[in-house]
Amino acid sequence: MAQFSYELIHTDKHTGARAGIFHTPHGDIETPIFMPVGTCATVKSLLPSTLEEIGTQILLSNTYHLYLRPGSEIVAQAGGLHKFMHWQRPILTDSGGFQVFSLGKLRKITDEGVTFSSHIDGSKHIFTPESVMKTEHDLGADIIMAFDECSPYGCDKNYAKHAMIRTHNWLDRCAKVHQNGSQMLFPIVQGNMFSDLRVESVKFVRDYAECGIAVGGLSVGEPSEVMYKMMDDIRPYLPENMPRYLMGVGTPDYILEGIERGIDMFDCVLPTRIARNGTALTSHGKVVVRNGIYKQDFSPLDNECDCYCCRNFSKAYLRHLVNCKEILSAELLSIHNITFLLKLAEGARQAIKNDNFAQFKQNFYANYYNNEK
């Protein structure tokens, strides 16, 4: 496992925020980091060269989607996901667990695994810990996630406990079949919104963690305070010597609150999804570009941003593109939104090194929330 290591550069004196470097076979990742999501082996609307230019250090891609289309064996034949999608920096694949559980009536969970019907053509499939490891090996990402059961928010403690135990058993099965030294398996902490289950889970899964551990099943509908409490409760038990990844979390405030609680890695479809709906994240809050007040606004989206979109285009132009349903609006807003979250992580990293993360967070909130339009 010498291909992977985590270097803890500095821990903020006043919070749990950490700055580090995660070394992987496809390059170093400076943490904390935001990972754009490339669901179907493409970060929607963006050329890989554009993603590189804006400083993307690592991408996430989805095992469930790639398993169905084009099929992981096609990706393997292409030489793996890096070659297939022409991305030379690190990639992380999820396990497909969250996607198949989200299928609702289309899936059935047993101790063996999950049987489900494809959302595309209704065809029947089964994911087991063993099959998912095989699929993730085919895809060939640097970081691969264990197959877990994400119990729904609001379920009772008994249900949550059984899902957690199953997650632990599945982790053990994943670890047994994962033999590939060039891919790092991240175990996932579950336990729903029950502190004792969360603590039990982190204590169990950390023994499987070689260089990375993930927290799943948060930001699934619970109040922010509940989510923050879960993170606070498990924090004392998270290993120091490896990166910690909070799955599926990507609003600016959740990222900052996660960083404060010692989280190093984040991912979310938010920046690209809202870009396609014509919404931008800016240092002064969200901007709904379609809004009529921007019709003759020839200033950039975000004065404090130096991305390709903000350097070259006005709100009036972006509004025009959104109004005309032009694809370019999705591209320019995606460039901006991803840049925004990458810069947020970069700003946090600098602040941590200067031991003033709390101040950084407070300043961000003051700008972001006092000006939201």
Told to judge if 233 belongs to the known catalytic residues of this protein, a careful annotator would answer: no
299 binds a second copy (CB under 8 A): no
Q: Is residue 119 involved in binding a second copy (CB under 8 A)?
A: no
Binding residue (CB under 8 A) for a second copy from 110, 224, 241, 296 = 296
Question: Using the rule CB under 8 A, is 40 a contact of a second copy?
Answer: yes
Among 328, 354, 355, 363, binds a second copy (CB under 8 A): 328
Distance CA(257)–CA(253), nearest Å, equals 6
Tell the smallest beta-carbon distance from residue 337 to a second copy (Å). Answer: 15
Residue 9 lies near a second copy (rule: CB under 8 A): no
Q: Is 94 a catalytic residue?
A: yes
User: How long is the chain?
Assistant: 373
Supply the minimum distance, in Å, between the C-beta of residue 142 and a second copy.
Answer: 19
Q: Residue 193: CB partners within 8 Å, gap ≥ 6?
A: 153, 160, 222, 226, 230
Handedness of CA 109, 114, 118, 119 (dihedral sign): positive
Q: Is 138 near a second copy (CB under 8 A)?
A: no
- Applying CB under 8 A, which part among 25-33, 158-166, 183-191, 319-327 lies near a second copy? 319-327
Instruction: Single out the residue of 231, 265, 321, 333 in contact with a second copy (rule: CB under 8 A).
Output: 321
Among 29, 37, 46, 310, binds a second copy (CB under 8 A): 46
From the candidates 12, 148, 267, 302, which is the catalytic residue? 267
Tell me how far, at minimum, the Cβ of 138 lies from a second copy, in Å.
14
User: Using CB under 8 A, which residues numbered 53 to 112 contact a second copy?
Assistant: 65, 69-70, 74, 77-79, 84-86
298 binds a second copy (CB under 8 A): yes
Question: Among 91, 144, 270, 332, which residue sits at the site for a second copy (rule: CB under 8 A)?
Answer: 332
> In the complex with a second copy, which residue's Cβ is closer, 113 or 300?
300
- Asked if residue 316 binds a second copy (CB under 8 A), the reply is yes
- Structure-derived torsion over alpha carbons of residues 145, 147, 151, 157, reported in degrees to the nearest 10: -100
Among 181, 327, 353, 373, binds a second copy (CB under 8 A): 327
Residues that bind a second copy (CB under 8 A): 40-42, 44-50, 65, 69-70, 74, 77-79, 84-86, 295-296, 298, 308, 312-314, 316-317, 319-321, 323-324, 326-328, 330-332
Catalytic residue ranges: 94, 267
